[in-house]
Chain A
Amino acid sequence: MTDTPLPQSSRDAHDIAHLELVPRRHVGRKVFAAIVLLLVALLIRAFVVGQIEWPVVGQFLFAPVIIQGIWNTLLMTVAAMSLGIALGVLIAIMRISGNPVLEYIALVYVWIFRGAPALLQLLLWFNLALIFPTMGIPGLFEFNTVEVMTPFVAAMLGLGIQQGAYTSEVVRSGLLSVDAGQYEAARTIGMTGMQTLRRIVLPQAMRVMVPPVGNEVISMVKLTSLASVIQYSEILHNAQVIYYANTRVLELLMVASFWYLAIVTVLSLIQSRIERYYARGTRGRTTI
């Protein structure tokens, strides 16, 4: 019951029907926002008065070594993610191929490469020469593993191959999201399995796959920092090289943080653009 029962006269009801409507006031939200702002202000103050030399941060923000690191980070993100997506699509198709041999290969791939930390996998690739000093096909060609397994190659393989295991699950869920009737309709016009995938199923699966793949790209930007451990000169590695020399540890870490955040911000904007493109015709924003 509300405190406004149905009035006896229709005139009164009419009056009530024309009163001004006031939306619910969210007092709690305002108080909460104020508390959050206060805490943020305290945090900022702590960093300002803390023992960080902000001018040093500004001095190294655009240092050539740091800029070079940004390019290398972007390059590794593109290289490792390309490898990851290519492997992911391949493995996902193997999983649904109906060929038990391919299915088991795909299962084992995901099991192995999802089963070890990315950092450990990087170290394994980088130190491959310890097990296989030379690689190749006997009689045809042969090379020294150390020469080929540069930090770039090791990082790309390590990050890309483990990423493929995760991306394959994203691609698989995209393929499963396409209605079985689409596979059947494609078959009835005489398409083979590969034609059906390429022309009918994958284009539709894209809509489901884009948000999680975007998420993985952003994740990969930060994962590339692991490559600093094997001497790949990306942002974090180059920042470390500088602070080993000048001992401004926190200042250089701030510089690196700034650039990672900047890259991720740009990528997030691109991601929401792409998502909006694929969400055409579906319902708008949802809140609980």
Chain B
Amino acid sequence: MTSEILVKAVDVCKSFGTFKALNEVGLEVRKGEVSCIIGPSGSGKSTFLRCINLLERIDSGAIWANGELIGYRRDGNRLYELSDVEIARQRRGIGMVFQRFNLFPHKTSLENVIEGPVQVLGESSKAAREHAMELLKRVGLADKAGNYPSELSGGQQQRVAIARAMGMRPSLILFDEPTSALDPELVAEVLDVMNDLAA
């Protein structure tokens, strides 16, 4: 028995000026699967991931995530672009972890994790805190909840970033080279957390 399809991309094309980054790319990922996109640098891996949650706009093709067509609404034979608010709603279900962490430097680890749940999902501060502490414990950083990103190592920052993505209870998380900015001895701790999530 196969599980439901989480991501499906069909004939996705994306150019930057005259450079064709994605040329009719297709992909299918089912719930519970771990898929890796590998290739030389400049081959469009990041661009493709960023198209899935609309950090980049595609030129043609279609991407579905969580059962919804991403970024567009069909009316007859045309696809109409969605509004800022609707796109923001679609992104809630898609977590993303960046190469350079992109934690919010003016917020502590805990505040980074609860920001989305409280501001976007409208969870109560108390419920969000409890969930966030669970997640920080899961990534092994319960004792760093009150620390600012600048006080954490790269590996610790990336684990907070994973907890932040998990805080939104997404059905899908995109990892864009999550260990390539880390010192070799810090890679293992991040991979351990990712393995734990995948299990």
Contact = CB atoms under 8 A, between A and B. Distances in A.
Given A182-B104, A185-B104, A190 B98 contact: no
B150 interface: yes
A184 B55 contact: yes
Interface string B137-161: 0000000000000100000000000
Given A188-B94, A188-B96, A204 B105 contact: yes
Interface string B73-90: 000000000001100110
Contacts of A184: 55, 96, 98, 102
B152 to A, nearest CB: 13
Contacts of A281: 150
Contacts of B13: none
A203 B104 CA distance: 10
Interface string B142-184: 0000000010000000000000110110000000000000000
Given A191-B116, A192-B84, A195-B120, A203 B91 contact: no
A189 interface: yes
B92 interface: yes
Most chain B CB neighbours (cut-off 10 Å) among A185, A199, A204: A185
B131 interface: no
Contact of B168 (A186, A190, A195): A190
Q: Which of B55, B92, B95, B116 has the most chain A CB atoms closer than 10 A to its own CB?
A: B116
Nearest to B151: A281
A169 B9 CA distance: 42
B126 interface: no
B55 A185 contact: no
Interface residues of A, number: 19
Contacts of B165: 188-189
Given A192-B88, A200-B104, A204-B106, A185 B120 contact: no
B22 interface: no
Nearest to A181: B102
Given A199-B119, A204-B105, A190 B88 contact: yes
Contacts of A200: 104, 115
Given A184-B98, A281-B150, A190 B106 contact: no
B102 A182 contact: yes
A193 interface: yes
A195 B91 CA distance: 14
B98 A181 contact: yes
Contacts of A192: 84-85, 88
Interface of A: 179, 181-182, 184-193, 195, 199-200, 203-204, 281
17 contacts: A181-B100, A184-B96, A185-B98, A187-B53, A188-B55, A188-B94, A188-B95, A189-B115, A189-B116, A190-B88, A190-B120, A190-B121, A191-B116, A192-B85, A192-B88, A200-B104, A200-B115
